């Protein structure tokens, strides 16, 4: 049994990202996406998910790293925001200022909004990285939704027990390989078990370039080349040839 979950983060951050994720799901090997609920294009993302049957989880979001694109929490949470009511740019800032009750309430509100739109999240994970594992675990257990990320040994019951977890861009960059070639080799080399690959898809667009005044490693080229790799011709057939079944977290074996 070889199974592979291919997830794109940042669903809902902007229209071009939404379009890239939808193309990855319809034309490539993307199997699910992680939704940033407080972001400006989250409603469009949820509409796309309902229309096309795209499984989505919740990318729990209490940071906003871009300078030209900002967003606010769903709840009244003075400890989680700057003076302009936007979320801090780094996890470290949130950790220094966050009231744990406000953090937990914000996480709960993000899950409940998605459910109110008629979508049952197939997983949760954290934008950037965990702010507070104890608070995250408490919310996960309350709603009965497992985390796609490794939460550490104290929270093994909260996370999917993937055989492997990896990132398309980070691993391809570390090995100095073309992303498409890296992904092909990864599929060919999968062992028995359930594996996870994270990526960040987008279409090429001035919208993505405009999110940051400085560009940076998470900008347009990073995302567009992820989309090209996930949608590479013959990749679905390669999965079939190697006995790899594409699944989402909703299909994770009990």
Q: The domain that contains 198 carries what CATH number?
A: 3.20.20.370
The 10 Å Cβ neighbour count of residue 41 is: 19
Residuewise pLDDT in 10s, the chain (254 residues): 999 999 999 999 999 999 999 999 999 999 999 999 999 999 999 999 999 999 999 999 999 999 999 999 999 999 999 999 999 999 999 999 999 999 999 999 999 999 999 999 999 999 998 899 999 999 999 999 999 998 888 999 999 999 999 999 888 877 888 999 999 999 999 999 999 999 999 999 999 999 988 776 677 888 999 999 999 999 999 999 999 999 999 999 87
**Residue 143 belongs to what domain range?**
2-251
Residues contacting residue 170 through CB under 8 Å, at least 6 positions apart: none
Number of independent structural domains in the chain:
1
Question: Residue 181: what pLDDT?
Answer: 95
pLDDT at 90: 95
Six-digit token pair at 29?
């090997």
The 3 state secondary structure assigned to 25-44 is HHHCCCCEEEECCCCCCHHH
Intra-chain end-to-end CA distance of the chain, in Å:
14
Whole-number Å distance between alpha carbons of 212 and 193? 39
* pLDDT (0 to 100) of residue 217: 62
- What DSSP letter does each residue of the chain carry, written as one string? -EEEEEEEEEETS-HHHHHHHHHHHHHSS--EEEE-TTSTTHHHHHHHHHHHT--EEEEE------SSS----SS--GGGS-TTSPPPSSHHHHHHH--HHHHHHHHHHHHHHHHHTT---S-EEESSS-S-HHHHHHHHHHHT--BSS---GGGGGGB---SEEEEHHHHHHHTT--HHHHHHHHHHT--SEEEEEEE------HHHHTT-SS--TTSHHHHHHHHHHHT-TTHHHHHHHTTEEE--GGG---
Task: Round to whole Å and give the CA distance between 148 and 154.
Answer: 15
- Round to whole Å and give the CA distance between 79 and 229: 40
pTM for this prediction? 0.96
Instruction: Supply the pLDDT for residue 216.
Output: 67
Calpha distance 188→169 (Å, rounded): 18
């Amino acid at each position: 049994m070889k199974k592979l979950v291919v997830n794109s983060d940042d669903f809902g951050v902007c229209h071009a990202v939404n379009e890239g994720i939808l193309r990855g799901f319809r034309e490539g090997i993307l199997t699910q996406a992680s939704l940033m609920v407080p972001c400006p294009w989250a409603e469009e993302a949820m509409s796309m998910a309902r229309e096309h049957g795209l499984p989505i989880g919740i990318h729990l979001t209490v940071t906003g790293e871009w300078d030209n694109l900002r967003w606010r929490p769903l709840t009244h949470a003075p400890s989680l925001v700057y003076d302009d009511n936007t979320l801090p740019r780094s996890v470290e800032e949130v950790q220094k200022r966050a009231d744990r009750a406000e953090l937990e309430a914000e996480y709960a509100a993000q899950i409940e909004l998605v459910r109110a739109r008629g979508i049952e999240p197939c997983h949760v994970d954290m934008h950037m990285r965990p702010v507070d594992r104890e608070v995250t675990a408490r919310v996960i257990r309350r709603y009965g939704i497992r985390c796609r990320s490794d939460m550490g040994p104290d929270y093994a019951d909260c996370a999917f027990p993937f055989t492997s977890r990896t990132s398309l861009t980070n691993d391809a960059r570390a090995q100095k390989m073309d992303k498409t070639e890296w992904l092909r080799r990864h599929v060919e080399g999968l062992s028995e078990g359930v594996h996870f690959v994270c990526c960040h898809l987008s279409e090429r667009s001035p919208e993505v370039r405009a999110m940051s005044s400085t560009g940076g490693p998470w900008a347009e080229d990073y995302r567009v080349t992820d989309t090209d790799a996930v949608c590479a011709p013959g990749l679905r057939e390669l999965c079939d040839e190697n006995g790899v079944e594409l699944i989402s977290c909703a299909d994770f074996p009990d």
